């Protein structure tokens, strides 16, 4: 995570980087992780380059799934009305 934060600060000028992660273990013996990044949409308008970097960083550690629509813009001044959508996108 530290390498990813350094990449974001260096390449996008982000100072505040939010994230949420969870470890899941279903019926199989293997666990897996989910990660949601909370980033300034004024600095990152489309995640193509960021997605490529994340895949490059994670591939040596295992499978990296591709998410079809991996981003959602949230208006920070209207967060209460958008919280349900945010939860839906992260399920």
Q: Could you report the per-residue pLDDT of 31-83, keeping only the tens digit for each?
A: 888 888 888 888 888 888 888 898 888 888 877 776 777 777 777 777 777 77
pLDDT score recorded for residue 89: 63
Task: Name, in order, each residue with C-beta under 8 angstroms of 50's C-beta and a sequence gap of 6 or more.
Answer: 8, 44
CA distance 50 to 4: 9
Write down the pLDDT at residue 70.
Answer: 76
Whole-number pLDDT of residue 86:
67
pTM of the predicted structure, to 2 decimals: 0.72
Q: Which residues pair with 35 in a beta bridge?
A: 21
3-state secondary structure at position 41 = coil
Q: Residue 87 above 90 pLDDT?
A: no
User: pLDDT value at position 60?
Assistant: 87
């Amino acid at each position: 995570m530290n390498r990813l934060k350094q990449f974001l600060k260096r390449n996008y000028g982000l100072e505040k980087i939010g994230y949420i992660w969870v470890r899941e273990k279903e019926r199989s013996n293997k666990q897996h992780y989910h990660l949601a990044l909370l980033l300034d949409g004024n600095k990152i308008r489309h995640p193509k380059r960021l997605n490529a970097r994340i895949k490059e960083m994670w591939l040596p550690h295992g499978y990296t799934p591709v998410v079809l629509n991996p981003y959602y813009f949230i208006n920070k001044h209207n967060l209460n009305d958008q919280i349900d959508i945010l939860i839906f996108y992260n399920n």
